[in-house]
Structure 1
Amino acid sequence: MERKLVLQRVVIVISIISLLFGSSPVFAELNTDQLRATFEDNSILFSNNSEDTNCSPNAAQRAGDAAGELVGEDNLKKAFNYFISKGAPKFVAAAIVGNLYQESKGNPILRQNKGSEPNPLKAGGKYHPWNPSKPAGMGDAWGIAQWDPGVAVLYWQQQAGVQGDVTSLEVQLAIVWWQLQNLAPTSRKNVLAEMTASGNVNEATSIMVKKFFGAGIPRTDIRAAYANKAMSWEPDPSIAAAAASGAATNCSDDSGGGGGTISEGGLNEEQAKKFMMNYGENKNNESQKAMGGYLWNNCNGGGSNCVSFSVFFLNKFTSTKGVYTPGNGEAVVSYLRSNRRVPTGKTPKVGAIFSWNGGRYGHTGVVLGIHGDTVIVGQASCSGPGKGRGDGTQSGGGSGFIRVGKINETKAWLGRLPDEFAYPEVDMSAVANYVGASTGGGGGNVAL
């Protein structure tokens, strides 16, 4: 056995030993030492999320908020209402349920091909995530999402920070929700964002089959059929208030910032173009009103200034209002950090304001969408001749435009990688309304 401490994350990898857990598993409310010991005894990689300073959910965002009575006539309707309450659009909740139907018919203690089994360890297998030298041993899948092998559910429960009995439906749904937003069993990141951006139940179902489950025999037709059946269900009225609060964010930034920002998703490319076209058109005088007449007119008489656009976004769509003259583009994020106490960090997130220092004035803009490793950035530039609505692209003649590219390449950021990001609290419902999209089902959804 080898123990290694890296950045306050404790990771223990144990040599393969026999799986012995006793006849009555005690999964509820294990403390850190008990959980560590349980993992060691069963050859499971252990990572203490409570000590993790980089990517563990913070107190307000933990998937462990699984407490509370589930609502619904059966387990699958309870799951549907649960995901709606977490902020999933209706078609996404239906797609998740369609997949869970095919995996387990909603049975949280289903052992693959062997019926109900309340102890996941009896499903057999070893689990060493992300360690190719210690591949998962053969065993049966288990649980509502058929984690494979069954012992893997303990690892994912711990990673998600979910407290409680792993055999319970609500704990397992909380684990699935965390995995959808963060890391799927296939190691895909934020599958939820891709499902939401798809805009329809069939595509969302297919995305989950491929990218979340990686099913060898997918039977997508069965999953999609049940997902479409779920689309006929009406969410329970009691969960409407919870649904309005939206989905949880992903990982905390290394600076501790994040304040309600969203890690991935946001606008797709066409929605982002429309966002910039509306900005340039100054429809209903909204652009000028949000930033003030001076900033609107100080470059080409139409808002084509990077600072103008960032100020517009802050004043219209975030809780950080009353921003008018924060300096040149290079100084916007430092101004927000020092003068407005907005959290900052080095990681791009949807709704984040960025700055880079270079050239005469530097540059600033807004992250409008992140899909996989591709970023969509809204911006304006005084060096361009654009004025008015345009077509949302840099060559389209408008006041604002988007650039699309890989997160770690300079193309999307207009020449340089950002030095720092600021994370204001963004009202994504207002963003959705601005482009005529929806945050709750149907086509053209903004990923929350």
Structure 2
Amino acid sequence: MFSERRVNFRFRSLAVAGAFVLALIGTALAAPAATAQPREVPAAAAGVIRANEEVAFNYFVGKGLTPIQAAGVVGNLDQESYMDPTIHQIGGGPGRGLAQWSAGGRWDTYPGDNLVEFANNAGVDRYGLQVQLDFIWYELTEFSYYGLAQLRAATTIEAAVIAFQDKFEGCGTCHTDRRIAYAQDAYNLYT
């Protein structure tokens, strides 16, 4: 009984410590104020964000999107996940990965339209950057309601951001100004 309590206490202590670390990480990566000022993140995280942004930007340009349209996608993904394909929604919500696909939905449940099945069929880790970019492209090209036509029609960064935000992301509180600022930043960096 005493050793069982000690084990439970250790698990509780680890859980509290883990929650504290996650809270610190969440605070460090918190989104900027609604004024869409450049984000302030730790230097190590910024390097990963930038590297993943550039890969994603070039991926979508390589698929035939214009640099403006690709930047619109990247700005949205920055807002959703800081370009971290391993991220789970802060606060324990259902969002997973780059586009914050919902567990119980597009992440792992919808027949023929879920990232877990897509990754398993490809024999790769669902948390990989490349498979998540491939899945975004799959959804855009296979399901018209995710807005590829609207995205391709966009000729401004704002229009590209809004097309992807409204059709693909379907966000609740979108923070469009942040998405536009991130997209403009990506466009300036990678063109």
**TM-score band w.r.t. shorter chain:** 0.5 to 0.7
1:77 paired with 2:54, answer yes
**Inter-partner Cα distance in structure 1 for 2:84 and 2:50:** 14
> Are residues 73 and 159 of structure 1, via their aligned partners in 2, closer, same or farther at CA, if it must alter by over 3 Å?
closer
**Inter-partner Cα distance in structure 2 for 1:220 and 1:194:** 17
Instruction: Flag the structure with higher strand content.
Output: 1
Residue deviations 1:246-273 (CA, integer Å, cap 9, x gap): xxxxxxxxxxxxxxxxxxxxxxxxxxxx
- State the one-letter code of the partner of 1:105: Y
**Inter-partner Cα distance in structure 1 for 2:51 and 2:189:** 12
**Inter-partner Cα distance in structure 1 for 2:165 and 2:190:** 24
Which runs of structure 2 are paired with 1:165-204 in the superposition (5 Å)? 165-183=125-143, 189=145, 191-204=147-160
> What is the match of residue 95 of structure 1?
72
Question: What percentage of aligned pairs have identical amino acids?
Answer: 35
Residue deviations 1:113-170 (CA, integer Å, cap 9, x gap): 15xxxxxxxx7xxxxxxxxxxxxxxx52111110112663235233688611111010
- State the one-letter code of the partner of 2:161: T
SS of the equivalent of 2:125 reads: coil
TM-score (norm 2): 0.64
**Inter-partner Cα distance in structure 1 for 2:160 and 2:120:** 26
**Aligned Cα root-mean-square deviation (Å):** 2.4
**Inter-partner Cα distance in structure 1 for 2:74 and 2:104:** 20
SS of the equivalent of 1:98 reads: helix
Deviation for aligned residue 1:173: 0.7
- State the one-letter code of the partner of 2:65: A
> What is the match of residue 222 of structure 1?
178
> What is the match of residue 168 of structure 2?
212
**Inter-partner Cα distance in structure 2 for 1:150 and 1:74:** 30
> What is the match of residue 94 of structure 2?
140
Instruction: Flag the structure with higher helix content.
Output: 2
Q: Which runs of 5+ in 1 are unaligned?
A: 1-71, 115-122, 124-138, 236-448
Residue deviations 1:322-378 (CA, integer Å, cap 9, x gap): xxxxxxxxxxxxxxxxxxxxxxxxxxxxxxxxxxxxxxxxxxxxxxxxxxxxxxxxx
- Is contact 2:72-2:157 (8 Å) kept? yes
Residue deviations 1:35-64 (CA, integer Å, cap 9, x gap): xxxxxxxxxxxxxxxxxxxxxxxxxxxxxx
- Is contact 1:154-1:166 (8 Å) kept? no
Residue deviations 1:206-234 (CA, integer Å, cap 9, x gap): 11111111111010000011111111133
> What is the match of residue 86 of structure 1?
63
> What is the match of residue 329 of structure 1?
none
**Inter-partner Cα distance in structure 2 for 1:149 and 1:199:** 33
- Is contact 2:119-2:126 (8 Å) kept? no
Deviation for aligned residue 1:190: 5.0
**Inter-partner Cα distance in structure 2 for 1:198 and 1:84:** 14
Which runs of structure 2 are paired with 1:235-250 in the superposition (5 Å)? none
**Inter-partner Cα distance in structure 2 for 1:97 and 1:167:** 17
Deviation for aligned residue 1:108: 0.6
Bigger Rg, which one: 1
Deviation for aligned residue 1:77: 1.5
> Are residues 150 and 108 of structure 1, via their aligned partners in 2, closer, same or farther at CA, if it must alter by over 3 Å?
farther
**Inter-partner Cα distance in structure 2 for 1:230 and 1:219:** 17
> Are residues 162 and 219 of structure 1, via their aligned partners in 2, closer, same or farther at CA, if it must alter by over 3 Å?
farther
> What is the match of residue 108 of structure 1?
85
SS of the equivalent of 2:190 reads: coil
Deviation for aligned residue 1:75: 1.1
- Is contact 2:88-2:94 (8 Å) kept? yes
SS of the equivalent of 2:132 reads: helix
- State the one-letter code of the partner of 1:198: A
- Is contact 1:160-1:178 (8 Å) kept? no
**Inter-partner Cα distance in structure 2 for 1:213 and 1:105:** 15
Deviation for aligned residue 1:97: 0.2
